[in-house]
Amino acid sequence: MTPLLIVEQLNKIYHRHQPDEVTALSNISLQIISGEVIALTGPSGSGKTTLLSLLGCMSKPTSGNIQLHGRNVSKLPERFLAQIRRETFGFVFQQYNLLRDVSVLENVMLPLYPTPQSFREMKGAATAVLGRFELNGMMRKKVKQLSGGEQQRVAIARALVTNPEIIIADEPTAHLDRELSQYLLQILSSLNREGKTIIIATHDPGVYQATFIQRRFNLRHGQVVEDGDR
Amino acid sequence: MRRCALYFSFIGTTIFLLVALLVYGQVAVSSEGISALAGKRQLTHLLGLTDLALFSEARYTRHPSQADLFSPFQDFPAAFEHFPTGSIIPPNPLGFSSRIRIHHKSEQQN
Amino acid sequence: MLRQLKILEYTLSSLLRRKYKNLSLIAVYAFTIATLGSVLFLTHALKIEATGSLTSAPELIIQRVAAGRHDLIPTEYAKVIRELPGIKSVTPRVWGYYYDSLIKANLTLIGVSNYQEKLELLEGRLPENPQECAIGMGVAAAFGPTIGDDLVLEDSDKSRTVFEISGIFRAESNLLTNDLVVLQETALRDFFSMDQGLATDLIVQVYNQRETQTLAKKIKYLLPDTRPITRDEILHTYETLFNWRSGMMLAVGIAALIAFCILAWDKATGISAMEKQEIGILKAIGWETAEVLSVKFWEGLVISLTSFMVGILAAWIHVFIFDAPALIPLLKGWSVLFPEFQLTPAVDFYQLFVLAFLTIIPYLVCTIIPAWKSAVTDPEHVMRG
């Protein structure tokens, strides 16, 4: 099976050639098959978030290649990366990164603005995905009026509204209690059953030891020190 | 797209209003009926009027085009105005006309 | 097109989220534009009024200057001028000022003779004998007379002369006639004790208007103590209205400029943390840099265009419907007989365009530039919260 994502000799250095130069990732190579659920683990500062952002085309590597569907995306111009982010990836951020003064519906519609869909189609898609998470009754509420768990569900709904192939989640259970964490894992598991590839960065054992996690990459000091099945 | 439509309606209305007012202004200027231009010209011609009766403070603000050179510059040319409206209207004259000549002694001896 | 409409929809929604701040911004900006617009409209309308009405002013006026000051001119100068080729007619003019200490107003007294026409803008008629006068509306308003009443003026010999009011100029002519008292020339000469051999100045009409400057130079050469004033110079005075010296234009312009600099400085010194985060989120979820900058462009355009339209309409209404009450105190100065006038609503399109350009473009720039850095930054920083 052709890998969905191929990473070869990936390096990421911040503030290069400056006194505060930091090597966040060093010679990372890995492959991800379509439909897999991957956990990236490691302590804070190990490079999990950096690797997620590179895989999700949110920044460019200092050196190395990333191939998505056989296409090298590591050197594409920004506008193509934006299109790939929009069409292929759905992001669930650690801090949710929702617009707090904006309604739930509008937050979920945000990724659809640059698409050719009409306003009515956008609203329809957003309403459908919110319905899936039982958030229809809160569509008009502002995000700041919601609880942490509700905000997390809105964030996931926003990530799904473009029907992406790959879900990237950065510490998704960081602000959730045990019950809500379990609920979140059920959602991710069901998304995987629908065929979506899921990449989760976490240091929560409750997540990386979950049954639906198929593979785990353990990072330390910007390098993969362990790569194997869960 | 309710907000878009509302905004375009608002701006469209204001633009339409402005254009209508501007067109009305152009029509009014050329229409003697609105501007009473013929009557004003008749007055100007018959009475020999040369200035608008805008400012009655001093003779050089009442008839700025007729004022002698002395009045507006009565203290010195860059002095602050005596009358508020003196700083609205320009004192004449146009251009330069120097009337001072110097004949040096050496030229005269030659 | 659809994409831009959607982005505009998002922008409007974003502006409404901070509606009080943005409405205040629009209000201040519109007020600044209305102030500048009012001054532009008023001055242009006055110029149009002057250039419209005063194109029938005499082609040449010959004054006499003595010791640097205006003096009466001997009527025999007219004979010298009449002999120049190209001169159609030379008419002595008698007019002067009359100060009334009761109302503290300066009236302009004009003498007329040899007229036949019925004046459109005069109710009643011009004086037909030395005991009659026609007055402007400002004079009528100051003293309250009507046609048929008497106007009593005290001359320099302290004797009182009574003139029956035969006509009052109509309100449409206020800008020209507001402070006038028109008498027969003989009556005015008596009143001013002006000798028959003297006049206030001479009106000269020429056959070919292109020769006016040449004739003026010739007259100046032949009569060195005279000062010829051409009609072009008269009109030039009013074309440069509001353009000169200290005070008014500068004060209004500087106030507006300061207001705008404050606005621009506020915008340009930076984009708030919240706005940066918003840009980062949009980029992270798949918006391109160009789309993010489109949001900023629409934001700037909505604010500045709305402010401009509201400001200009307010200026138009202020000047042409309400007769510029906020500017009148500036215009009036210490004038007592200030005419109540309604201006023809003429607008200079070039000035309007320049004002639009100067108010919209800089604001757009001040909105887009601060957002540029955030817009081109990698969205990965958003991932880090």
Which residue in chain C has the smallest CA separation from A160?
C285
Q: Which residues of A touch C3 (CB under 8 A)?
A: 113-114, 116
Mean pLDDT of C8-27: 91
Mean pLDDT of C222-249: 82
Judge: C61–B24 Cβ closer than 8 Å, yes or no. no
Judge: A119–C290 Cβ closer than 8 Å, yes or no. no
CB C185 within 8 A of CB C126: no
Which residue in chain C has the smallest CA separation from A111?
C285
Q: Which of A101-105, C108-112, C279-283, C373-377 is the least confident region? A: C373-377
Report ipTM for this prediction: 0.89
Q: pLDDT tens, C59-117?
A: 999 999 998 888 999 999 999 999 999 999 999 999 999 988 777 888 999 999 877 77
* Per-residue pLDDT, C363: 87
Mean pLDDT of C44-66: 90
Chain C, 29-68: which have a CB under 8 Å from a chain B CB?
Answer: 46, 48-50, 52-58, 61, 63, 65, 68
What pLDDT band is residue C154 in, cutting at 50, 70 and 90?
Answer: confident
Residue of C78 and A3 predicted with greater confidence: C78
Q: Minimal Cα–Cα distance from B101 to chain C, Å?
A: 17
Q: pLDDT tens, B36-61?
A: 888 999 999 999 999 999 888 888 88
Which range has highest mean pLDDT (B68-77, C33-42, C238-247)? C33-42
Phi then psi for C375, rounded to 5 degrees? -70, -30
What pLDDT band is residue C257 in, cutting at 50, 70 and 90?
Answer: confident
Judge: A162–C286 Cβ closer than 8 Å, yes or no. yes
* Per-residue pLDDT, B32: 64
Q: Which residues of B touch C65 (CB under 8 A)?
A: 68-69
- Answer whether A95 touches C (CB < 8 Å): yes
Cα(B22)–Cα(C348) distance, integer angstroms: 9
* Per-residue pLDDT, C122: 92
- The residues, any chain, with a CB within 8 Å of residue C39's CB and separated by 6 or more, are C242, C249, C252, C327
* Per-residue pLDDT, A208: 84
What pLDDT band is residue B104 in, cutting at 50, 70 and 90?
Answer: confident
Q: Which residues of C touch B95 (CB under 8 A)?
A: none
Cβ-count burial of C68 within 10 angstroms (0-12 exposed, 13-18 middle, 19+ buried)?
Answer: exposed
* Per-residue pLDDT, C100: 83
* Helices (H), ranges, chain B: 2-30, 32-35, 37-47, 59-62, 105-109
Q: Minimal Cα–Cα distance from C378 to chain B, Å?
A: 30
Judge: C177–B43 Cβ closer than 8 Å, yes or no. yes
Question: Which chains neighbour C (Cβ–Cβ under 8 Å, 3 or more pairs)?
Answer: A, B
Residue of A23 and B75 predicted with greater confidence: A23
* pLDDT for C383 beyond 70: no
Judge: C3–A113 Cβ closer than 8 Å, yes or no. yes
* Per-residue pLDDT, C298: 95
Average pLDDT, chain A: 89
Q: pLDDT tens, A15-62?
A: 888 888 888 899 999 999 999 999 999 888 888 989 999 999 988 899
Q: Which residues of C touch A49 (CB under 8 A)?
A: 383-384
Judge: B55–C70 Cβ closer than 8 Å, yes or no. no
Q: What percent of chain A has pLDDT over 90?
A: 52
Question: Which chains neighbour B (Cβ–Cβ under 8 Å, 3 or more pairs)?
Answer: C
Residue of C66 and B97 predicted with greater confidence: C66
CB C81 within 8 A of CB C90: yes
Assigned CATH topology for domain A5-229: Rossmann fold (3.40.50)
* Per-residue pLDDT, C339: 87
Q: pLDDT tens, A212-229?
A: 899 999 988 888 877 766
Which residue in chain B has the smallest CA separation from C345?
B25
* pLDDT for A91 beyond 70: yes
Residue of C88 and C248 predicted with greater confidence: C88
Give me the residue from A59, A106, A116 closest to C2, CB to CB: A116
Give me the residue from C278, C284, C385 closest to A99, CB to CB: C278
Token digits for A55? Answer: 């895989």
Residue of C307 and C258 predicted with greater confidence: C307
Judge: A110–C281 Cβ closer than 8 Å, yes or no. yes
User: Which residues are registered as beta bridge partners of A201?
Assistant: A40, A170
What pLDDT band is residue A205 in, cutting at 50, 70 and 90?
Answer: confident
Cβ-count burial of B44 within 10 angstroms (0-12 exposed, 13-18 middle, 19+ buried)?
Answer: buried
Could you tell me the strand order of the sheet in which A223-229 lies? Answer: A89-92, A166-170, A197-201, A37-41, A215-220, A223-229
Mean pLDDT of C358-379: 84
* Per-residue pLDDT, C43: 86
* pLDDT for B64 beyond 70: yes
Mean pLDDT of A142-167: 92
Round to the nearest angstrom and report the end-to-end CA distance of chain C: 33
Chain C interface with A: residues with Cβ < 8 Å? 2-3, 6-7, 9-10, 13, 17, 277-278, 280-291, 376, 378-380, 382-385
Mean pLDDT of C9-29: 90
Q: Which residues of B touch C72 (CB under 8 A)?
A: none
Residue of C269 and A67 predicted with greater confidence: A67
Q: What percent of chain C has pLDDT over 90?
A: 49
* Per-residue pLDDT, C246: 55
Distances (CA, A) of B109 to B100, B101, B104, C282: 20, 17, 9, 89
* pLDDT for C137 beyond 80: yes
Q: Which residues of C touch B42 (CB under 8 A)?
A: 56, 117, 119-121
Q: Which residues of C touch B92 (CB under 8 A)?
A: 229, 233, 237
Cβ-count burial of A75 within 10 angstroms (0-12 exposed, 13-18 middle, 19+ buried)?
Answer: exposed
